[in-house]
Amino acid sequence: MKLSASILSADYLNLGRDIDRAYEAGCGLLHLDVMDGHFVPNIAVGVCVVEALRNEKRMRKDAHLMISNPETMIRPFAEAGADSIIIHAESTPHHIRLLRDIKKEGKLAGIALTPETPVETIRCALEEADIVLQVSVCVGFGGQGIIAHVYDKLRTLKEYKSRFGFKYEIQVDGGINGQTYKKALESGAETLVAGSFLFGAPDMETIAREMFAAGF
């Protein structure tokens, strides 16, 4: 199991401190939610934020592009220092081409699904994906409850990976807390993306330790 800290829920006035907290708690990844106010009803994390984190080498930096026209922003985020770039299936019909474009920039290539989008929508692109991110809440805001049918989608992603020999990492993002993370892992998630559950905890290390202990 891997644990990814979503900085959407961090204290931006003390972002460096919170990133240190996440690393010390055992997080191996930073999740950077990029929002344009169009694809999702919120604005967050531009290129300048990723650029400011360029020298953070302890944790992999995943740029999750919740934006329209993602093809225009692959290179800027790659050049800013993102280690992986995740596009949304709903934002473009050109899944395979964009995943290949990300790889041409020397980055891990990921594709994300909203809760409403069937896994079958991206079946033809799964062979190209290094990461499949299943969003488990309504996109755009942190602190929401998980949408239950996402567990079935995680099981489908796990089944496809096993049956067809795909190599992608299965991530789940949204609604991860003390009541949901075990079921997410049981359903097939390999990386848990957590924001408010981690950054809102008085003792992030204790929370992370419990999550790792359940990581099978």
Q: What is the mean pLDDT of the chain?
A: 94
Question: Which of 38 and 102 is assigned the larger pLDDT?
Answer: 102
**Residue 50 CB coordination number (10 Å):** 22
CA quadruple 198, 204, 46, 68: dihedral, nearest 10: -20
Q: pLDDT at residue 81 above 80?
A: yes
Q: Which of 18, 33, 36, 83 is catalytic?
A: 33
The predicted pLDDT at position 142 comes to 57
The predicted pLDDT at position 1 comes to 92
CA distance 214 to 182: 7
Q: Do 6 and 193 touch, CB atoms closer than 8 A?
A: yes
What is the DSSP pairing of strand 29-36 with strand 43-44?
antiparallel
Q: pLDDT at residue 47 above 90?
A: yes
pLDDT digits (tens, 9 = 90+) for 118-172: 999 999 999 999 999 999 987 755 556 888 999 999 999 999 999 999 999 999 9
Could you confirm whether 36 is annotated as catalytic? no
The predicted pLDDT at position 140 comes to 57
The predicted pLDDT at position 80 comes to 98
Q: Which of 20, 83, 173, 203 is catalytic?
A: 173
What is the DSSP pairing of strand 43-44 with strand 60-66?
unpaired
CA distance 212 to 65: 27
CA distance 167 to 83: 17
Could you confirm whether 33 is annotated as catalytic? yes
Q: What is the mean pLDDT of residues 180-207?
A: 94
Instruction: Give the structural domain span for 24.
Output: 2-213
Residue 93 backbone dihedrals phi, psi, to 5 degrees: -85, -5
The predicted pLDDT at position 144 comes to 66
Split into its structural domains, the chain has a count of 1
Sorted by sequence, the CB contacts under 8 Å of residue 61 that are 6+ apart come out as: 29, 30, 32, 50, 53, 81, 82, 83, 84
CATH number, domain at 55?
Answer: 3.20.20.70
Sorted by sequence, the CB contacts under 8 Å of residue 116 that are 6+ apart come out as: none
- Min mean pLDDT across 100-104, 135-139, 145-149, 192-196 is at 135-139
